[in-house]
């Protein structure tokens, strides 16, 4: 599936387009446990790092992902053993 192109002139804010696409990728099974680093996602989507950070904040608030300092960001519903 990969990243969908972001339309800076689209009806939705850029960070929401990124957040919605990440949700689709989680639901499609592309991301099942650990998500790529935020900087890697920014490069993949062709957006600023802060845009991805804001998208991740939205997904954390929705309870779809969890972030562990120094470990990464993980799909929340995949609550197997804590990553080490």
* pTM attached to this predicted model: 0.84
Tokens 């900087």 sit at which residue? Answer: 39
- The HSE-up count of residue 26 (CA atoms within 13 Å, CB side) is 21
Q: Which long-range contacts (CB under 8 A, 24 or more apart) does 29-35 make?
A: 30/1, 30/2, 31/75, 32/75, 32/78, 33/74, 33/75, 33/78, 33/80, 34/72, 34/73, 34/74, 34/75, 34/83, 35/65, 35/72, 35/73, 35/74, 35/75
Confidence check: pLDDT of 84 > 80: no
Q: What tens digit of pLDDT does each residue of 13-62 get? A: 999 999 999 999 999 999 999 999 999 999 999 999 999 999 999 999 99
């Amino acid at each position: 599936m990969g990243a969908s192109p972001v339309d800076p002139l689209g009806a939705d804010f850029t960070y929401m387009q990124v957040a919605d696409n990440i949700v689709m990728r989680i639901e499609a099974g592309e991301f099942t446990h650990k998500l790529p680093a935020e900087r890697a996602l920014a490069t993949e989507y062709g957006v600023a790092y802060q845009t991805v950070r804001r998208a991740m904040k939205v997904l954390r608030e929705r309870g779809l992902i969890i972030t562990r300092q120094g470990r990464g960001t993980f799909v929340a519903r995949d609550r197997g053993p804590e990553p080490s």
